[in-house]
Structure 1
Amino acid sequence: MAARILSKRKTLTAIAGGVVLAAVVPVVAIATSEEPPPEVSAKGASLFDENGEQVFGKNVNDDRAMASTVKIMMAATILDDKSVDLERKVPVKQAYRDYVTEHSASTADLQTGDKVTVHQLLYASLLPSGADAAYALADTFGEGATNEQRVQSFVVKMNAKGHELGLGKSKFDSIDGTSEDSTTPADLAKLAQHAMKNDTFREVVKTKTYKTEAPAANGRTRYYTWTNTNQMLSSYKGITGIKTGTTSKAGECLVFAAERDGKTLTGTVLNSKDRYKDAAKMLDYGFGSDDAADMKIRKLPADAQQD
């Protein structure tokens, strides 16, 4: 299938001897229909099918800040260990709450002294994008004598996992995207496709709202409700996940996946002005549908985290 190369602005294309020459900073799309590739506001974007073939791309190999989408790698690093005990109890430390305050990060509002499971912490880190939950997981699965040492050793594990997966242009510097973490649209989509092969991960990221309980420090029961910040869920037909991210440096980011008629598409938008519209237009192009124009975004509860 021939590739079509277009730019955001009008591109002068010359065809000579079977070679297509185009302007720099291209948008590349593999033709799946007679419709032209969509224009997206994101500075970087990618869309791949279940076979790893690129359906759409914009600056797919350019380095970009990734914000909280880094938590996809955090979860994958844990879940790729087949021996991981998802029911392992983790006592919530005050340090986890302090980390949220220090970084002005999104939170699952874990309460000091509560005992939550690894499984619950995955929901808490991936749905409300809780930096406290991400810190708890890194502290639990890292190595060292102090919280900081264990977290840093876990970040080393994340980078090792990235190397193993062939994410050659991705750099993980934190467990929640608050540091110098960077990736490319292509690398991030590849990571997402890998993560979505895990049943636990896939179940977590498709959940809109998760209610659970945990033993509290005072001997009573704590009740938690976590809402998924990914507003594409229930807004676009076939969406199955997976993660939002927003910082001043990274802008609006979204990693998404959708299934229709046996076809699975996985995509990324990085530094977007309207990530959900961008994602919907890309999916429309890949599926040959026309749903983006009428898409109504699922509203979050007033007290939900924003990410």
Structure 2
Amino acid sequence: MQRCGGIAVQRLRRLAVALTASTAAVTAALPAAGAQAAGEPPPPTVGAKGAYLADGDQPLFGKAADVRRPMASTTKVMTAVVVVDEHATDLDREVTVKQVYRDWVRDQQASTADLRTGDRLTVRQLLYALMLPSGCDAAYALADTFGSGATEKERTESFVADMNKKAQELGLADTHYDSFDGNSGPAGKNWTSPHDLAVLAAHALSSDTFATVVRAMSTRQRAQNVNRLYTWYNTNKLLGSYDGVIGIKTGSTRAAGPCLVFAARRGEHTVIGAILAAQGDRYRDAAKMLDYAFHTTTRMTLRHLPAGAHED
């Protein structure tokens, strides 16, 4: 895994270690409902069914933080982590887009980077296609490329098994994957908790490759074999709307509702949070949580995506 250097990566590593503390320790560290220290602002009131927030190695806020819920396209954070952790030397490898990737998007009515059959893109480019427009076609391409087996089905199932193995390595006790993109199977075995999602985000952001991708509000990437230019916009509208936000991923399905995992950096503080099953505006919930962490009040004007850009 490529790492960003210096103090920032050390803080992120400490955060990941702290966040993997036992559920009891995490719960004990969170403010009780209605309780606050003298002079401290009250914990935020959020509409989401599940939420979690940590500042460095200090858990700040939780709401059903260890309850398992569907995670929609925030699944793709782990898709990217498996690639940058286990295949860092393959980032410039070229991958040919197959028609089956486009068929998957059509059949699932899934979010897409609109990859064109026969185009060749590097793995690094596919990470942008995965994380900015939330391309399920890009997720399929990465799983098919790095899974093992004789068929697409075998390779993608192998890749999902690698995702679950990585979850175990990171101590994500309330996380399980049954898909490479968040389009859960009939049994619905694709879940995480806000706490686990924040742990995963801390780990992911310690990769310079991942951090560079998710902080981009847009990108233009040219196919390697044809004169085709892809333009992708980041579906995370908190990025560019709230000062200091550095990522990371949206998600939304009927089963999961709107989801968001986010991070912001101000001065010496790197704050990471997660929202599952938002009942209203997930971005407003996230802004309230960040205001609580940074002891401020923000009037946020939400960034608009260009007409025709995918929203996740």
Q: CA deviation at 1:215?
A: 3.5
2:21 maps to none
Which residue of the other structure, out of 16, 37, 42, is the alignment partner of 1:36? 42
Task: Report if the CA contact (8 A) 2:241-2:303 is conserved.
Answer: yes
Larger gyration radius, structure 1 or structure 2:
1
Q: How many residues align?
A: 280
C-alpha separation in 2, matches of 1:32 and 1:231: 34
Segments of 5+ residues of structure 2 without an aligned counterpart are 1-27
Q: Deviations over 1:83-136 (max 9, x none)?
A: 431110000000000000011000000000000000000000000000000000
- Aligned equivalent of 1:81, options 82, 86, 89: 86
Is 2:304 aligned against 1:277? no
Cα distance in 2 for partners of 1:163, 1:46 equals: 20
Q: Match of 2:17?
A: none
CA distance in 2, matches of 1:159, 1:116: 26
What letter is aligned with 2:130? S
Q: Contact 1:65 / 1:250 at 8 angstroms: preserved in 2?
A: yes
- Are 1:31 and 1:55, in contact at CA under 8 Å, matched by a contact in 2? no
The structure 2 residue matched to 1:252, chosen from 254, 258, 270, is 258
Q: 2:296 aligns with which of 289, 292, 295?
A: 289
The TM-score with structure 1 as length reference comes to 0.88
Identity score, percent: 54
C-alpha contact (below 8 Å) 2:82/2:166 kept by paired residues: yes
CA RMSD, Structure 1 to Structure 2 (Å): 1.6
- Which whole-Å CA distance do the structure 2 matches of 1:148 and 1:5 have between them? 46
Q: Who is 2:192 aligned against?
A: 183
Q: 1:128 to 1:101 in 2, by over 3 A?
A: same
SS at match of 1:5: coil
Q: What amino acid sits opposite 1:247 in the alignment? A: T
Provide structure 1 residue ranges, at least 5 long, that are not aligned to the other structure: 8-28
Contact conserved, 1:128 with 1:227, CA < 8 A, in 2?
A: yes
Q: Which whole-Å CA distance do the structure 2 matches of 1:137 and 1:105 have between them?
A: 16
SS at match of 1:173: coil
Match of 1:15 in 2: none
Match for 1:45 among 40, 51, 71? 51
Do the aligned residues in 1 keep the contact of 2:54 with 2:271 (CA within 8 Å)? yes
Partner of 2:32: 5
Partner residue, 2:164: 159
Partner of residue 104, structure 2: 99
Q: Indicate which of 175, 178, 196 corresponds to 1:173.
A: 178
Matching of residue 66 in structure 1 with residue 71 in structure 2: yes
**Offset at residue 31 of structure 1 (A):** 5.5
- AA aligned to 1:278 is D
Residue 40 of structure 1 aligns with an amino acid whose one-letter code is V
Per the alignment, do residues 166 and 32 of structure 1 end up closer, same or farther by CA in structure 2, a change over 3 Å counting? farther
Q: Which runs of 4+ in 1 moved over 3 A?
A: 1-4, 29-33
Question: For 1:55, what is the secondary structure of its paired residue?
Answer: strand
Partner of residue 209, structure 2: 200
Say whether the 8 Å CA contact 1:3–1:31 is kept in structure 2: no
| Structure with higher strand content | 1
Q: Which amino acid aligns with 2:141?
A: A
